[in-house]
Structure 1
Amino acid sequence: MSSTTDSAAGRAEIAARTLRTDRWWLPPLLNVIGLGAWVLYATVRAFMQQWYFVPQYNYLTPFYSPCVSNGCIEQAAHFGRFLPDWPILPYAALTLPFLLLFRLTCYYYRKAYYRSFWLSPPACAVAEPHRRYKGESRGPLLGQNLHRYFFYAAAIISLINTYDAFHALFKADGSFGLGLGNIILFANVVLLWAYTISCHSCRSIIGGRLNHFSKHPTRYKAWLFVSRLNAKHMQLAWTTLGTLALTDFYIMAVSAGWFSDLRIVG
């Protein structure tokens, strides 16, 4: 077995890949399983093109929001229908790519999939299998620097999801209604906002280019709030994957008639 260190750099040559005796491989493995399962589910649902809307209660899954395809149910198309109805084109093709790019370029997700899928490196004090490391200075990883702009797009999409949640408070006949689906929609929106504004780019935007926080007390308080959320960015990243899947599955189940929505009012 060849050495994993560079003797020319004056370091001790260690033949073993790592001297760690703990289960360092478990977190990368769990990341592969978790992220892989979510991507598989989301991909299937995005291209399924059915069971995405409950007309009676105006429940629209976030995986299909905004529904802008000509194939969308008219009642679900809150912002019009202008994309062609092709089987290979998701109904929410206008926003899904930006959400994907926002997550792919997220600082936490970079760490997660760099370590789990690329093994670069798989864990601290564990040598990676790659001979050279180019970092994010060349393509395609150079595109990670666009994360700030994908954040703006994600914020706009979160506004759309918020609109969907409020719109669902009124049933098809215009009367107010509240069910378990509404609670799930709002819980998902709140957590999506928490994940979005806990982004490192958002923290930089709010507190950046300031020499004296004392002269900008409002921005300072906002920066402190975002900083507290930023400390939970990893947990929010995983939690929102769960709430997105749960919200979509619940609406799919109600739309497909697998079970009825638990109504509280109306």
Structure 2
Amino acid sequence: MSAPAAERESLGVFSPRRARLTARTLRTDRWWLSPLLTVVGLAAFVVYATVRSFVRSAYYVADYHYLTPFYSPCLSESCVPGSSHFGTPFPELPMWIPLAFLSLPFLLGFRLTCYYYRKAYYRSVWLSPPACAVAEPHTKYTGETRLPLIIQNSHRYFFYVAVIISVINTYDAIVAFHGKGGGFGFGLGNVILVVNVLLLWIYTVSCHSCRHVTGGRLKHFSKHPVRYWIWTRVSRLNTRHMQFAWITLGTLMLTDFYIMLVASDTISDLRFVG
């Protein structure tokens, strides 16, 4: 075997541990469409969330106590009055630090290390592999055993923090039942906030780590009927984890966008009570 041929045999799809494809692809369908749509969807959310997290405007509706999830919890003196539901233990922050600096990094870590999102961006962004029966373009593959991908194993710890942040988002949704003149109030913004937080809870508890927490390490389900019941419910949700992962990206942007429109006086909140 010639030197170039030998080198070719050791790289990418021709390596001993990979399926050997002599052609670029064996597919006759539009296999590239799914990775492309995934890249577009993820990029759209990243760009929108990044801009909104740093712009520091139109993120709180004082009349109804609507607070966008991209700014929760807001714990700095830089926060507009009323938006700090848990006080302001931190001083004013420079513009390059998002006001929700305590939650956003953990939520980003939770999404990045999510088992579904790994599959999504491994295939669509890194093309590793781009699709079944499509040649692997990379020269080597070490899996999640070395830096930086070994960090993916921290997913369960991000899950614990995500649960806490979901509790905070729930509190924000409850506080938002506020009328313009005080007391109880209910409007379209409340519907959007509640639906968003419910879907965030479903996405969080349908996580593989939650499934492991509820039923992992048990040798006999019969001895733990309560945990087994919880595990079966989480497992059912887990089968739709991908759908909830995408749905919650959409509801997060919708919730923030609606609050931005109301807070900037572009539209008025549709009120049902108060």
The within-5 A match list for 1:1-80 is 5-6=13-14, 14-80=21-87
Please point out which of 129, 138, 145 is paired with 1:130.
138
The amino acid that maps onto 1:61 is T
| TM superposition shift of 1:74 | 2.6
The amino acid that maps onto 1:72 is C
| TM superposition shift of 1:174 | 3.3
1:156 aligns with 2:164: yes
Do the aligned residues in 1 keep the contact of 2:206 with 2:241 (CA within 8 Å)?
Answer: yes
Greater shift in the superposed pair: 69-78 or 27-36: 69-78
The amino acid that maps onto 1:71 is S
Shift of the 83–209 alpha-carbon distance from structure 1 to 2, 3 Å rule, reads farther
The amino acid that maps onto 1:178 is F
Do the aligned residues in 1 keep the contact of 2:21 with 2:133 (CA within 8 Å)?
Answer: no
Q: Secondary structure at the match of 2:272?
A: strand
The amino acid that maps onto 2:60 is F
Q: Secondary structure at the match of 1:76?
A: coil
Partners of 1:47 and 1:115 lie apart in 2 by 29
The within-5 A match list for 1:113-128 is 113-128=121-136
1:257 aligns with 2:265: yes
The amino acid that maps onto 1:116 is S
Q: What CA deviation, in whole Å up to 9, does each residue of 1:86-129 have, x standing for no partner?
A: 11010100110000000000000000000011000011111221
Do the aligned residues in 1 keep the contact of 2:66 with 2:189 (CA within 8 Å)?
Answer: yes
Partners of 1:103 and 1:150 lie apart in 2 by 9
The amino acid that maps onto 1:54 is V
Partners of 2:18 and 2:176 lie apart in 1 by 65
1:93 aligns with 2:89: no
Q: TM-score, normalised by structure 2?
A: 0.93
Partners of 1:98 and 1:27 lie apart in 2 by 28
The amino acid that maps onto 1:22 is D
Q: CA RMSD in A?
A: 1.8
Partners of 1:22 and 1:136 lie apart in 2 by 30
Shift of the 15–57 alpha-carbon distance from structure 1 to 2, 3 Å rule, reads same
| TM superposition shift of 1:8 | 6.5
Q: What CA deviation, in whole Å up to 9, does each residue of 1:33-52 have, x standing for no partner?
A: 00001100000000000100
Do the aligned residues in 1 keep the contact of 2:13 with 2:136 (CA within 8 Å)?
Answer: no
- Taking only the aligned residue pairs, the percentage that are identical comes to 64
Q: What CA deviation, in whole Å up to 9, does each residue of 1:202-253 have, x standing for no partner?
A: 0000001211111111111110110010000000000000000000000000
Q: What CA deviation, in whole Å up to 9, does each residue of 1:56-110 have, x standing for no partner?
A: 0000000000011221013110112215321101010011000000000000000
Which 5+ residue runs of structure 1 have no aligned equivalent?
none
Counting matched residue pairs gives 265
